[in-house]
């Protein structure tokens, strides 16, 4: 089993870039496969999750090349050019990939099956399957979890789907199915979620209407190839944002970060806690807004996190919880029940780690109450194979009095290849073992 041993650190310094955005990378390859022509992707995240998507489209008959680091060329086959796979499509640990492929494959003329690693095979899929079945798709799960078996050849009908819980993955799956449906497909969101699907579909020539939480499209005749430049992933940047808040003695800069307004909840939450964050050098990578983020020395204080921000930062909460444990006073997070069905039950995983490291806290059904201000003691943390839990507790070393050992960290490579080396380059002391 691979583990991290993280010795206490007292400062971070420097200027970094983080790997490409995972959500954008998934979609760039998937939409490129459905387009007519050659799609050139730069800044592609070469983590295991996105490589699973790339391998899946190859098994569906799409030619994919990797001419250089972070570079992918997809020879699109058009909306109706995919071929039946000869074996189940293995999504590895990629929940996003599985859920988006459920929507895409529901409309194909052939049968298919989606599987994943042990963690992914425990994650819920019925919330995606339900609206797809309402469109006419035929999908089977095992007690609501993978494997997902999809029976092709169904004629899908556009629907108006009012999501009971905000989820970009559910929304995206329905919209992907809508590319093939008769009539208009509409998704009504109870709260704002990341809109990379809508933006990228527009980049590929599909007309998408999005306003006031309502997203609609009609099946296009075709998608056209596009060049996609992937921004740095704000979910990966979050760990270094927190690290800089805790350990910077001078301005710390993260360059080329995607600052899509549906993803910047972590910036707003840290600002509420007193972080000194500045966005500079604003520009666009295609339809995605990008900026450099400067972090100045900050003294964090506890805060009540508004529930409206939760969907805008759902992947960043492990990092935020560490920030809260280091802040003066109490931080309260509610409305985040979605954290219980991620790669791990992230509320439970963080609570177990806090208990071992001496952080006063209360795990709630939909969040956590954290009383911060005291240093972490050392100890051994089981990340439960969850990459974001592992990276969060690595950052905790900036306020630790003894080494922290973090078990089962191999899945860090799913979203952040090279994390340990980059962390060490700015002042952390992360030793990878196993």
388-405 per-position pLDDT tens digit: 999 999 999 999 999 999
Q: For residue 211, what are the contacts with CB-CB under 8 A and spacing of at least 6? A: none
Span 25-52, pLDDT tens digits: 999 999 999 999 999 999 999 999 999 9
**Average pLDDT score, the chain:** 97
- Identify the pLDDT of residue 245: 97
**Catalytic residue of the set 315, 382, 386, 408:** 315
Structure confidence at residue 319 as a pLDDT band (50, 70, 90): very high
Number of Cβ within a 10 Å radius of residue 397: 28
For the chain, the structural domain boundaries read 3-20+231-433, 22-229
Give the C-alpha separation, 400 to 42, whole Å. 38
Give the C-alpha separation, 394 to 415, whole Å. 15
Q: For residue 142, what are the contacts with CB-CB under 8 A and spacing of at least 6? A: none
3-7 vs 36-42, strand pairing mode: unpaired
Give the C-alpha separation, 76 to 223, whole Å. 9
Give the C-alpha separation, 330 to 308, whole Å. 19
315 is catalytic: yes
- Identify the pLDDT of residue 112: 98
* Identical topology for domains 3-20+231-433 and 22-229: yes
Ordered DSSP codes for 367-419: EEEEEE-SPBPPEEEE-TT-HHHHHHHHHGGGGBSS-EEEE--GGGGGT-TTH
User: Yes or no: is domain 22-229 CATH 3.40.50.300?
Assistant: no
Chosen CATH of 3-20+231-433 out of 3.40.50.1370, 3.20.20.70, 3.65.10.10, 3.40.47.10 = 3.65.10.10
Q: Where are the alpha helices (DSSP H) in 14-47?
A: 22-34
């Amino acid at each position: 089993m691979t583990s991290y041993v993280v010795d206490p650190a007292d400062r971070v310094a420097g200027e970094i870039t983080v790997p490409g955005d995972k959500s954008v990378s998934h979609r760039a390859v998937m939409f490129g496969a459905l387009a007519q022509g050659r799609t050139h992707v730069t800044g592609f995240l070469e983590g295991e999750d996105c490589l699973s998507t790339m391998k899946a489209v190859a098994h569906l008959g799409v030619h994919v090349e990797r001419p250089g680091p972070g570079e992918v060329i997809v020879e699109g086959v058009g909306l109706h050019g995919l071929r039946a796979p000869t074996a189940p499509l293995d999504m590895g640990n990629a929940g996003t990939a599985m859920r988006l492929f459920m929507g895409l494959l529901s409309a194909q003329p052939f049968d298919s099956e989606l599987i994943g690693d042990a963690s992914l095979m425990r994650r819920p899929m019925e919330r995606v399957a339900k609206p797809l079945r309402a469109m006419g798709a035929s999908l089977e799960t095992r007690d609501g979890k993978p494997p997902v078996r999809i029976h092709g050849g169904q004629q899908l009908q556009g629907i108006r789907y009012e999501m009971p819980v905000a989820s970009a993955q559910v929304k995206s799956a329905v919209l992907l199915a809508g590319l093939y449906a008769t009539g208009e497909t509409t998704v009504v969101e109870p709260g704002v979620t990341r809109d990379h699907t809508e933006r990228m579909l527009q980049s590929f020539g599909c007309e998408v209407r999005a306003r006031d939480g309502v997203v609609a499209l009609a099946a296009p005749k075709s998608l056209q190839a596009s060049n996609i430049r992937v921004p740095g992933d704000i979910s990966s940047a979050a760990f270094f944002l927190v690290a800089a808040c805790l350990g910077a003695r001078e301005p710390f800069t993260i360059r080329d970060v995607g600052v899509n307004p549906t993803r910047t909840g972590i910036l707003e939450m840290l600002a509420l806690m007193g972080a000194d964050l500045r966005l500079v050098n604003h520009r666009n990578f295609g339809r995605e807004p990008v900026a450099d983020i400067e972090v100045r020395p900050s003294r964090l204080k506890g805060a009540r996190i508004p529930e409206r921000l939760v969907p805008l930062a759902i992947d960043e909460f492990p990092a935020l919880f560490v920030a809260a444990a280091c802040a003066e006073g109490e931080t309260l997070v509610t409305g985040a029940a979605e954290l219980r069905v991620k790669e791990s039950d992230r509320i439970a995983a963080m609570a177990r780690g806090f208990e071992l490291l001496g952080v006063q806290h209360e795990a709630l059904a939909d969040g956590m109450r954290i009383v911060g201000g005291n240093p972490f003691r050392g100890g051994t943390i089981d990340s439960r194979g969850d990459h974001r839990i592992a990276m969060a507790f690595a950052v905790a070393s900036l306020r630790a009095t003894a080494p922290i050992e973090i078990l089962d960290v191999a899945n860090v490579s799913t979203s952040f290849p090279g994390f340990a080396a980059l962390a060490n380059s700015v002042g952390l002391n992360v030793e990878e073992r196993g």
